[in-house]
Structure 1
Amino acid sequence: MKKMVLASLQDAIKIYNQYQAQFRQVAVEADELRRMSKRVIFYVGKGQEDEAAELLQEATKLLDKIVSQVDDKQILYDNEGYKAASEEFMEACLTYMILTGQELDLSLVTTTSTRRLGSFSDLCGELARVAILLATDGKTKKVVEIRDFIQELILELSKTKIVENSYLRGKYDQAERALRKVEDILYNLQLGRR
């Protein structure tokens, strides 16, 4: 009986060590995915669509590599670095879609439902930054379109029970602040016309 118990323990240790090795590898690659995703957002926000598209393609390949190399998907859901990177990647995809008009299949992104919703809140902040650039260029109509879209996003987000989740509640509050920022931009543009 003792041999069986020891053999079982040795198997558990082997599995644990494999899990930990994959966990660490995912953390390293997820950090690179997060950085790439931030650069996609930066490029597409500045209107550099070619650079954004190329980098997004590379980031998609890295995401596929990360997901396919793990034996157990639970590694992804336990790894805070991966969760943050997958949320940032979703945000990059959403920002790219809105600003370029090109569709992407977001159902293929392996992430938690919390992080998926969080990326929509983060999108509001990215759109607010774009609105600042557009206002600087005198493109008031585009700023109004962004405001209207952020309002739609917030309305949809408010239909969920995000208040019960402190992480999403913070994200929702950030989305509302982004809307306020865009409304302030439009208000200041109106004052400048008087």
Structure 2
Amino acid sequence: MTLEAFADTIVPGVKRSPEDRAVAGAADTAGAVEAGAIALLETPAAGVVDGLDNLTAMLNGHARDYAAREGCALDDGVPPFVALPFALRTGLVAELVAPGHPEKDGWVALALFSNMAFDTGAHLHTVEAMAAGHPGLRAMRFAEPDADRLWRFPSYSYGRPLARTHPGTTPSGDPA
């Protein structure tokens, strides 16, 4: 729940239900949580799985301290970072990723993974992410693949060819 709240602070989304506490509901569309930020963080290839419990504990410790400094009473029914109002979540994250913060690298990495989940669906095969309606790829209007599940761009993304095709290129696009 804490990591979901962090991801939602980076790329805010709409609440998944009225009872949702991790997602603050600061946006009208799906954000990093619905895009799969936690699934990406928990993917062994991400290289952060072993540190997630420590990051979660540290984030909640920082949230307790930040709430005390800001005079904000926290709901004991949820983790401290989750209990922070969205504005205080963003304020705390701004401190954690600021130049000079001793833990900056860890928090920036966590923020990058949150963005990566939304922007690319890096934990998913792109064809499957598109078929499932991945919110970030949809928001960016990522092109649908052709019927054979491959992407081709016959009209060129810049409206013109960027270079002449090599004379040895085969009809399928393979180089000679």
Q: TM-score range by the shorter chain?
A: 0.3 to 0.5
Q: Which has the higher helix share?
A: 1
Pick 1 or 2: higher relative contact order, CA cutoff 8 A, min separation 6: 2
Q: TM-score, normalised by structure 2?
A: 0.33
